[in-house]
Structure 1
Amino acid sequence: MKHFNKLMVLALVLITTGTFAQETKWGVRLGVGLPNLQSTDDNIYSKDYKTVAGFDGGIFLDYGLTENFSIKTELYYATKGGERNGMQPIPPAQLDPQLGQLTGGVPVYANFDNRAVFNYIGIPVLAKYEWNLGDKWGVYANAGLYVEFILSPEQETSGESKFYYDEAGTMAVQVPYNAGTDENPVIIMVDLPAQNMTATTDIDKDLADMDFGAMFGGGVSYNLNDTSELIFDMRGSYGFIPLQNDTETYGTVHMGSFTFSLAYAYTFKNRSKKATPTND
């Protein structure tokens, strides 16, 4: 969160700039995001994550430069992440040190539920062009860049499972067991009992604290009256900065998302100054 103050300053600057636009729209957007953890390789730790829908919404400012062209910015909050259930690898660094020594520092597999949840605050700056379809309807397209900062990322795991050396679950991790007595030990190898995998782990140090990427989309607007409108917005985004700090171990993963939203906007029209009459 070391960049959070910079984000607030940027938001203030963008909002203040809107007061100089020819026509300013203020609004609120509420939606649902469908994030996608996109791996650029076949890393065993980052593949096969499924989409987890989350809240995506904020307040926006749309300041017009011409009748059809405007610059749109927003301060939004979004929940992103993914889940991976079933047999999956556990990094050696996350194992108990004694078990890590026993397994020789190689990844082991377990059957459990894994959910990674990331909350972001971000600002996009989008160029927008709108086509009017009569007095009530309009359609628009917009594209631009965004920056966002991660808040309190957590990993939630649940379930019980034995550990295995292979993804198929045919080679169980074994530990030494004394089948004899203390005086006459008989050491045999037995399967490690099932372990409780339920935990909530703070993974902030493992992830990049900010992302920067491209955003694009479009939507439909409906004028309720001269100053109010309802908007259906669709947008996609793709982050350029890898999510994991340790890309050598966990692979290169980028955060993408597709969002559907409903919004309300109120238009403030700047009044032109009237000429002051003079007496001849």
Structure 2
Amino acid sequence: MQINQLKYLGLFTATLLATLLFVSSTVNAQRIKSAPLSWGLKGGVNLATLYGDDVNDTEIATGFNGGLFFSYAFSPRLSLQPEMLFSMKGAELDNSVSGQETTTDYELGYLEVPVLFKYHLVTGNTLHPNILVGPAIGFKLYGNANDRDIDDEIQDAEFGLTFGGGLDAEVASSPTDFIQTVGLDLRYTLGLTDVFDIAGDPEAKNRVFTIALAVGF
């Protein structure tokens, strides 16, 4: 099952990358000077799992990731990008973190707020690679285990570190165009705090690989 998920994710990534290259090649190569503050929408796919001393034999859980982002450019190379995202996490475990010998499908939903520093590689054309890193805090929205409500067993908040990179393509021909950029975002979020708040305090943390398409206005 994991191999099929990764195969489809690779196909999805290649399709998005090809789309970005095509779009960027069809617009004027002259860089459009825009205001330092911008915003946009993004959406994509999470490949999530759990890790820790009390987690064994996990399988990837696929979920949605998307929401709103803002970007403030300090310079052509450096920007700050806070985001507000709905993020689905979890994993399928052969044994639950409470020690029961049964397959358990954990579905966890968070309102995630990353605050990312982005370093942009200025290329002289309309396609710009970037590197990103920053902290992220996730606020619990819901938790299920095999469709059983476990909200009371999940910590109210989690902290993590996000890092990755992507590509931004300028698609506007003037600063007044509604859509200014489209981008492909690849990132990894490593949870640093335990997910569960139950007896025995099991060590289990989220880790998520995300691929998303962003549209900047």
Q: TM-score by structure 1 length?
A: 0.59
Is 2:88 the counterpart of 1:70? Answer: no
Equivalent residues in 2 for 1:138-177, closer than 5 Å: 138-156=128-146
Which residue pairs with 1:31 in the alignment?
Answer: 44
Amino acid at match of 1:215: T
Instruction: Find the counterpart in structure 1 of residue 191 from structure 2.
Output: 239
Q: Which runs of 5+ in 1 are unaligned?
A: 1-20, 92-106, 157-199, 267-280
Asked whether the equivalents of residues 139 and 157 of structure 2 are also in contact (C-alpha less than 8 Å), the reply is yes
Distance 1:90 1:232 in 2: 35
RMSD of Structure 2 on Structure 1 (CA) = 2.1
Gaps of 5+ in 2: 1-33
Write the distance in 1 (CA, Å) between the matches of 2:100 and 2:205.
25
* Preserved CA contact (<8 Å) 2:76 2:122: no
Which structure has the larger Rg over C-alpha atoms? 1
2:160 matches 1:202 = no
- Whether 2:165 is the aligned partner of 1:218: answer yes
Q: Is the 8 Å Cα contact of residues 71 and 126 (structure 1) preserved in structure 2?
A: yes
Change (3 A) 1:260 1:90: closer
| Matched residue, 2:207 | 256
The Cα shift of 1:254 comes to 0.9
Normalized against structure 2, the TM-score is what? 0.76
SS in structure 1 of the partner of residue 122 of structure 2: strand
Secondary structure at 1:248 match in 2: coil
Alpha carbons of structure 1 residues 134 and 245: separation in structure 2 relative to 1, 3 Å: same
Give a deviation string over 1:10-30, Cα, whole Å, max 9, x none: xxxxxxxxxxx9611211111
Q: Distance in 1 between matches of 2:151 and 2:112?
A: 17
Shift of 1:90: 9.2
Aligned residues: 179
| CA deviation after TM superposition for structure 1 residue 247, in Å | 6.7
Instruction: Confirm or deny: 8 A CA contact 1:22 1:65 kept in the other structure.
Output: no
Give how far 1:135 is off. Answer: 2.6
For the residue of structure 2 that corresponds to 1:241, the secondary structure is: coil
**Which one of 91, 103, 109 corresponds to residue 119 of structure 1?**
109
Q: How far did residue 129 of structure 1 move? A: 1.1
Percent same amino acid among aligned pairs?
26
Of the candidates 59, 65, 74, which is equivalent to residue 50 of structure 1?
59
